[in-house]
Amino acid sequence: MEVIRLEGIHKTYSDSGVPVHALRGIDLSIAQGEFTVIAGPSGSGKTTLLNIAGALDTPTEGNVFFTGEDIGEKSRNEVASIRLEKLGFVFQAYNLIPVLTAMENIEFTMMLLGIDEKSRHERARQIMRELDIAQLADKRPNEMSGGQQQRVAVARAIVNNPSIILADEPTANLDSETGATLLDLMQQMNREHKLTFVFSSHDQHVIDRAQRLILLRDGVIEQDESL
Amino acid sequence: MLFTIAWRNIWRNRRRSLIIMVSVIVGVSAVMVNDGLMVGMIHQMLDNQIGSHVSHIQIHAKGFNANPVVQNVIPERQRVERALEGTAGIRDWSRRNVSFGLLSSARNSAGGRIVGVEADNETAITSIHASIIDGKYLSGKPREMLLGRRMAEKLKVGPGDKVVGMASAMSGDVGSELFRVVGIYETLSSEFDKGYVFTSLEDTRNMLELGDNVLEYAVIVENLDDIEHVTQKLRETLGAEYEVLSYADLLPLLVAQVELYGQMMYIIYVIIGLAMIFGIVNTMLMSVFERIQEFGVLMAIGMKNSYVFRMVMIEALLLALIGTGAGILLGIAMLLPLGTIGIDLSIFAESLTSFGAGAIIYPRLTINSIVSVVLIIPVTALLGALYPALKATRLQPVTAIRYV
């Protein structure tokens, strides 16, 4: 089943007055259960592509379909609802809410969905046990290592059972061992729960684990192959 | 959880939050003390007027208040006294004669109100008997007179000296009487002390040729809240031949001043609130700008604008509520002892006594003051937070996340 489809995506930045073409005609479809890596050198448009696929940014031209719906026609609040209910994000800098504990960070999106406190606690505890971070429940981000924070970020991303998880350079700030452990975890989630992962990365360790590799260069897809 | 986040965010930058809270605390407590001081002063003026002469209710013949001439006597004394005895809620009443007249001593003359009172009954109505600073209160003997300190100074007399009183009598002739000063009184109002002299009811009856007539009844009710009710009841009982006036009718300017002040205080509250708005705008803007990336993340994971807006507003509300709560406590802590000890404003004594307030003001803590700050300060804080909150909702997730 198709989760995301991008049709004729162009993205041009003109912040400095000089137009920069970050994406130039991207056509792409991501299916349920894929473990996809978007790779490419710096400036190739990986993050821009991920942001557009995740409805964080809008294309200058082209359409983004999420489970068949054109999100270009949605209001800001409707798009926020799609991000909340169907998308999970894992950021390079973890981006946990600093004033909340690990448990509260994981519960936060459930709170936004209006899930009651008891159910939130149960679900958060279950996810934390699965990701082996139960002992971090009461710790705040500044009391955790980078790897621990990123695990909590993964827990936050998957807790609402999203259709797809978009991870932007998730291992870039981690040492190779911690990064590998995190990737193991994500692969396990992909295998066991059929969770769809799309990574943007130029880390070879990430690329090596890809089931599908999309190579971007200068804003166009140079290569798209299943491995 | 929004409250939790908002609460913890407040304490992320303790110094900044404490500064804005302290400014709210100082503003709230200062406005409460100012309010208490003004309310205390105005009530002192009112209490002094009521306690020195006006009383709660006065009864006259119709038209006496506008035209206080001796011919305007109470039509049926017994009828009034039956009404006073038969009306519930009245604590005490006393007969009076009041007339404008001229007072002359061997050294000087001055105009004033000559008030004839029943010496014993009057002690239950006014506090003149307790305001004697030299000599003694009226004993009931003939031709005794009490003068206010300012009047005595003007006439250059003291206890034991003689004073001649002259006023227009019932017949239209000038009635006169020789009085002996038995005491000098001083109230909190120098203007009152300059204008009112007291003698016995009988002496004024003789001087003004009133026979056994009376010009005024002064009434004190048991419960202040019942004044209007008792006034109305007496009006109904006595009918159109009489005028029954409450202190509010007799002191319209002072009562208007109380009401005017009440409205002016709201303006002061709004001014304090407006000053606070800028502090809140500044604090919340700084708070939003410091967390642009965080807002970006929150939006990226699905937080809607309404939640972002609410989060900023809750933070501002919490700051204001904490500041207001602590400010009220500080205000109460200052007002309670000051209400007993008083604030000595002797350096303004002359002007204060001319207003009838006294040199020591006893501030009053009013529920109205607390309710006003509780309503106005948090609302102004929310108004101040509107701009930063709207600013936060206008952030674009993708640019906000990258913001450093």
**DSSP-H helix ranges across B123-218:** 149-155, 190-195, 201-208
Per-residue pLDDT of chain B in tens (404 residues, 90 and over written 9): 788 888 998 888 888 889 889 988 998 999 899 889 888 888 888 888 888 888 999 999 999 999 989 899 999 999 999 999 999 999 999 999 999 999 999 999 999 999 999 999 999 999 899 999 999 999 988 999 999 999 999 999 999 999 999 999 988 899 999 999 999 999 888 888 999 999 999 999 999 999 989 999 999 999 888 899 999 999 999 988 999 999 989 888 888 887 888 788 888 888 888 888 888 888 888 888 888 989 999 999 889 999 999 999 999 999 999 999 999 999 999 999 988 888 887 777 666 666 666 677 889 888 888 998 898 888 888 998 999 999 999 998 888 887 76
The CA-atom distances, in angstroms, between B192 and each of B128, B188, B219, B332 are 11, 8, 20, 33
Q: Chains A, B: CB contacts under 8 A, how many?
A: 66
What pLDDT is recorded for position A120? Answer: 93
DSSP B125: T
| pTM assigned to the model | 0.74
CB A166 within 8 A of CB A90: yes
Q: What is the pLDDT of residue B402?
A: 79
CB contact under 8 A, B1 and A54: no
Residues of A in contact with B9 (CB under 8 A): 99
Q: CB distance A97–B297 less than 8 Å?
A: yes
Task: Fill in the amino acid letter for B231.
Answer: T
Residue range A124-145: mean pLDDT, rounded: 91
Contact B313, B18 (CB under 8 A): no
For residue B404, the model assigns a pLDDT of 67
Task: Find the residue in B nearest to A90 (Cα).
Answer: B301
- Predicted confidence at residue A6, as pLDDT, reads 93
Q: What is the pLDDT of residue B274?
A: 83
Mean pLDDT of chain A: 90
Query: Does the structure show a pLDDT above 70 at A71?
Result: yes
- Residues of chain A with Cβ-Cβ distance to B299 below 8 Å are 80
Tokens of A181: 């452990």
Looking at residues A19-48, what average pLDDT do you find? Answer: 91
Per-residue pLDDT at B284: 87
pLDDT-derived band at A94 (thresholds 50, 70, 90) equals: confident
* Residue A60 touches partner B, C-beta closer than 8 Å: no
Name the residue of chain A whose CA is nearest to B394's CA: A76
Check A91 against B398: CB less than 8 A apart.
Answer: no
- Inspect the interface and report whether the beta carbons of A97 and B12 lie closer than 8 Å: no
pLDDT of residue A172: 83
Q: Which residue intervals of B50-161 are DSSP H helices?
A: 77-86, 119-122, 149-155
Task: Give the count of alpha carbons within 13 A of A9, CB side only.
Answer: 31
Whole-number Å distance between alpha carbons of A34 and A199: 11
Instruction: Name the band, by pLDDT with cuts 50, 70 and 90, for residue A67.
Output: confident
Contact A81 B298 (CB under 8 A): no
In this prediction the ipTM stands at 0.88
Whole-angstrom Cα distance, residue B174 to residue B166?
A: 6
Determine contact: B301 vs chain A, CB below 8 A. yes
Structure tokens at B272: 């304090």
User: What pLDDT was estimated at residue B9?
Assistant: 87
Tell if the CB–CB gap between A97 and B401 is shorter than 8 Å: no
